[in-house]
Structure 1
Amino acid sequence: MSLVLNISQRNSVLKKMATLIGQNSTAILEVNQKDLKNYSGGDRAMYDRLKVNQAKIDGMISSLEQLAQQEDPIGIERFRFNHDNGMQVFNKTAPFGTVLIIYESRPDVTVEAAGIAFKSGNKILLKGGKESLHSNLEIVKLWHQALLETGVTTDWVEYLNYNRTETQAFLERPTQNIDLIVPRGGEKLIDFVKTHATCPVIVSGRGNNFVYVHREADRALALDNIINGKTNKISACNAIDKVLIDKNLPNKEDFVRNLITSLKNYDVEILGDISLSKYEEVQPIRNKSVWHEEFLDYKIVIGETDNAIDAISKINEYSGGHSAAIITRNKKEAEVFMSSVDCAAVYHNASTRFTDGFQLGLGGELAISTDKLHQRGPIGLQHLVTNKWYIHGDGQIR
């Protein structure tokens, strides 16, 4: 385990894993049904993440195949310097070592996130939620088969079947070296990991994403953008929760009525500020704290704003720092908005649903970080590395 696997070995494991997922898809779907039947919670987003279907199986296979085709992220030269004394100095990318991924509900994380971390040369520790235990164990069994069939020890991928108390104890007093922790889940999970971890944590924070409909917006485009962002996948962290409509939008009344009708067609619960709660289908906001919430449900807040500056201020006050979009024909206004909003991803006339490693050209993602160190937004293969200095000499002393 001490030696980093070469790129050929890592790619062979990933390709073998893709083949095994395809060959064992029926078994994965069957054990996932067991997890779904055992799930007693009423959280629709959690259930949606827990469910594995053929589309998710295909996504797992595709992510592994794409990873196997990507360049090796290890050993890439970032800097070189020839010292006056003759030493040759290089800085190159290097693996973290051991990455612990703690996640809720999503069995596909056991494939896709683990695959990215493995391709980056890291040992993987997986701690999934109890609700997806059967699915996760079935997939980890395939990881071990893929490793063994390519001549690699199964130590590279390990599943931690711990309860909450055992997990807390492991975070506070790890029984093996951990270099990085990546929590994937809701705010409670992230806070739990941050509170108890004794090593660096990459925070994959809440969404609570905003769309601002500027006064020079294409109203049809804005409507499509909001409906897509809200209803395409409610369990996604890149879904829309808040809409700000410029009070000077031409034909604003018609736009708002069309928006309400379209949202109600999807049974979306609509909350509105004072200016918009006059509509029968819109419930008035009872507490300002709702502006901070990530819903992960068929629920949305719509509000009116005076101008772009007001919209930027509100987004920076309430959003999760994940994604925000402006809908406008005015490129200058869009540039001001995009440079001023403090989010990991900012959009002009496009859906926040694209904040995703695969969609943004990374070939998948380990997580979407709302921290600013060491990587912001989708964390892809090339971001899951640290660096290391290589100095070559011929006897130099200082």
Structure 2
Amino acid sequence: MNTLLSIEKRNAVLSRMAELLEQERANLKSINQQDMSNYSGDDLAMEKRLLVNDAKVDAMILSMQQLASQEDPVGQVRFNFTHENGMKVTNKTAAFGTIMIIYESRPDVTVEAGGIAFKSGNKILLKGGKESLLSNLKIVSLWHQALEENEISKDWVEYLNYNRAETQAFLENPTQRVDLIVPRGGEQLIAFTKKHATCPVIVSGRGNNFVYVNKEADLKKALDIIINGKTTNIGVCNALDKVLIDTKLPNWEVFAKQLVEELKKYKVEILGDTAFANATQIPVIENDEIWYEEFLNYKIVVGIVNSDEEAIAKINKYCGGHSASIITQNDAVAQDFMDNVDSAAVYQNASTRFTDGGQFGLGGELAISTDKLHQRGPIGLQHLVTNKWYIYGEGQIR
């Protein structure tokens, strides 16, 4: 068990990490180019996540600076109670101990997720994907430098360079204590981790997010929000995959054609249910199974519903429990939709692309949980803690 590092020590490491990332910017980018050229390039979303450019380095540096300036999430008092016998009972936040992060292709996770877990008092085990190995090892060497310069053991951040079989063996029978595992990646990675892990897993789930255009929608807002959700970044879990349109929307067929025209400008493949396909002459979906799919690509499915209730039911049946947005000028209808859609984040008149720790004011996130325990949605610094009871007595017995 690692003794908890003081908040001053933790912050010093994070601040130093920000400086080192700036110093080593050119090196990191050129090492990442080796990873990029080694990558087979058959998955567009994966390739986008693998690249480290100036914008990504800037974001890594900013996340370290923000984390260093945030208050300590450990030791926060959540509950106080004085027993009738005089005992003082307090519940405080506590570190988990050791957190393992399993992820694919994204070197920025090595910085940002590692940083959040470290700031909240935990030892970090990083298991990145083989496609980003060189970039990850470079970043871990910076972590080690920041730790050693602050006279802290390098063991606080450890990189597990394991293949699939070794990873499975470690999950099933860890050679060191692991308190929590966070898989960051596609459905296969998450299923693999859940199947083999022997300790709690926070599921950073799939997206498959919906926008519902209600009959009282502002259609300009609807178009902008759908285009933004679908086209700005296809490789992320908060991207948009499905659109539902209310048949009570005046001239919904006109809006449908307009939507198709806009999406085609971005070379998005559009499929529709029978009613939408008939109205717009686009291909019809082969079967309803596609409503469950997360695309991570320039692809969208649009369908027609006859009521708000039908929209809510359809979203709850098919969505990934991540994000859903209603476009409407009627606040009461929006509130009903938001209360009844079973997703981690629900929106009125805004893009699902905002489901993100940084955008929600958390200063980044470790994961976006689609589980309901122990925290749902973006998991920020203040959520990456467990709790502990402190009882102060003077000899009381029961």
Q: TM-score, normalising length from structure 2?
A: 0.99
Match of 2:388, as an amino acid? K
Alignment of 1:1-398 (within 5 A): 2-278=2-278, 282-398=282-398
Structure 2 counterpart of 1:277, which letter? A
Which segment is superposed worse, 344-353 or 248-257?
Answer: 248-257
Deviation string, structure 1 residues 293-332 (Cα, Å, up to 9, x no partner): 0000000000101011000000000000000000000111
CA distance in 2, matches of 1:301, 1:148: 52
The RMSD of aligned alpha carbons is 0.9
Show CA shifts across 1:8-66 (max 9, x none). Answer: 00000000000000000111101111111111141111111111110000000000000
SS of residue in 1 equivalent to 2:71: coil
Please say which of residues 333-342 and 37-46 is displaced more in the overlay.
Answer: 37-46
Distance 1:140 1:111 in 2: 8
SS for the counterpart of 2:190 is helix
> Retained in 2: the 8 A contact 1:230–1:298?
yes
8 A Cα contact 2:256 2:279, kept in partner:
no
Distance in structure 1 (CA, Å) of the matches to 2:282 and 2:146: 53
How far did 1:86 drift?
A: 1.7
- Closer/same/farther in 2, CA of residues 54 and 336 from structure 1, 3 Å limit: same
Worse overlay, 57-66 or 282-291: 282-291
- How far, CA to CA, are the matches of 1:197 and 1:281 in structure 2? 48
Q: Distance in 2 between matches of 1:353 and 1:217?
A: 19
What SS does the corresponding residue of 2:320 show, helix, strand or coil?
A: coil
Secondary structure at the counterpart of residue 304 of structure 1? strand
Q: Distance in 1 between matches of 2:128 and 2:281?
A: 40
Kindly provide the amino acid, as one letter, of the partner of residue 317 in structure 2. Answer: E
User: Which secondary structure does the structure 2 equivalent of 1:5 belong to?
Assistant: coil
Partner amino acid, structure 1, of 2:162: Y
For residues 281 and 75 of structure 1, the distance between their equivalents in structure 2, rounded to whole angstroms, comes to 60
The amino acid across from 2:212 in the alignment is Y
Q: Which runs of 5+ in 2 are unaligned?
A: none
| One-letter identity of the residue aligned with 1:343 | S
Give 1:354's aligned amino acid: F
State the secondary structure of the residue aligned to 1:278: helix
Letter in 2 for 1:134: L
Distance 2:284 2:345 in 1: 30
CA offsets, 1:192-223, max 9 Å, x none? 00000000000011100000000000000000
Confirm or deny: 8 A CA contact 1:260 1:281 kept in the other structure.
no
Q: State the shift of 1:281 in Å.
A: 5.8
Structure 1, residues 125-180: CA drift from partner, whole Å, max 9, x if none?
A: 00000011011000000000000111111010000000000000000000000000
Alpha-carbon displacement from aligned partner over 1:40-99 (angstroms, at most 9, x marks no partner):
141111111111110000000000000000010010001111112221111100000000
Whether the 8 Å contact between 2:253 and 2:279 is mirrored in structure 1 is no
Distance 1:2 1:161 in 2: 22
> 2-side partners of 1:294 and 1:107: how far apart?
23
Q: CA deviation at 1:2?
A: 2.5
Contact 1:247 1:306 survives alignment (8 Å): yes
In the superposition, the TM-score normalised over structure 1's length comes to 0.99
Distance across 2 between alignment mates of 1:78 and 1:234: 39
CA distance, structure 2, for counterparts of residue 281 and residue 38 of structure 1: 42
CA shift, 1:279, in A, is: 5.4
Structure 1 distance, partners of 2:19, 2:376, is: 32
Whole-Å separation in 1 of the counterparts to 2:175 and 2:81: 39
- Residue 312 of structure 2 aligns to a residue in which SS? helix
SS in 1 for 2:333: helix
Determine the C-alpha separation between the residues in 2 that align with 1:224 and 1:307: 23
The more displaced of 83-92 and 358-367 is 83-92
- After TM superposition, the runs of 4+ consecutive aligned structure 1 residues lying more than 3 A away are none
**Is contact 1:270–1:281 with CA below 8 Å preserved after alignment?**
no
- Corresponding letter in the other structure for 1:109: V
Q: Which moved further from structure 2: 243-252 or 96-105?
A: 243-252
Once residues 112 and 129 of structure 1 are traced to their aligned partners in structure 2, the CA distance between those partners, rounded to angstroms, is: 16
CA contact (8 A) 2:74 2:93 kept: yes
- Secondary structure of 2:181's counterpart equals strand
AA aligned to 1:133 is L
Give the counterpart letter for 1:162 in structure 2: Y
Q: Structure 2: which amino acid aligns with 1:333?
A: V
